[in-house]
Amino acid sequence: MDIKHFAQLVETYGGHPDNWKEEKRHAALDLLKTSSEAQRLQQNALKLDNLLDQSICIPPSPTLKTRILEQVTTMPKVKIDIWQEFMQWIFGTNSLEHIWRPAVAFGLPLLLGIWLGLHLAANDIAPSESELLQQEEIALLVLSDTMME
């Protein structure tokens, strides 16, 4: 273990070797035997640990608790963008929705396109009322010409 890793260990877990991770403890103790810098870092961490152990924990007042809870309950919801909402709607949030929602989401436009295509094709084929009258007049003229002959 080098001094940099030892410094990180002491800053993270404090100066007491019992608080250090088991796999790093032996290497750190070996470094402590040979390095004055490591000993200095441990002493500083032990001083801080002792100060923290001596500090008094003052419980929060009921008004402070109330103020904090009011802030939490009135916090605005995090707004996700429209693309995230669309993807969540498409793919769902549970396993059943993961199967059916994509099929419905991609099948509905297909069915709408087929219906629209058939509807427009039917409207294009059907003649308008004026066209029907013209065709009827032509048919009557042709029929009357053939009957006269």
Q: Over the stretch 106-128, which tens digit does the pLDDT of each residue have?
A: 788 888 888 888 877 766 666 67
- What lies within 8 Å, CB to CB, of 43 at 6+ separation is 15
- How much is the mean pLDDT over the chain? 83
Reading the block at residue 74, the tokens are 């009135």
User: Which pair of tokens denotes residue 109?
Assistant: 């436009």
Q: Which residue has the higher pLDDT, 116 or 78?
A: 116
pTM (2 d.p.): 0.41
- Exposed, middle or buried by CB within 10 Å (0-12, 13-18, 19+), for 70? exposed
The predicted-structure confidence for 21-31, as pLDDT tens digits, reads as follows: 999 999 999 99
Q: How far is CA 126 from CA 74, 102, 117, 119, 129, in A?
A: 61, 37, 14, 11, 9
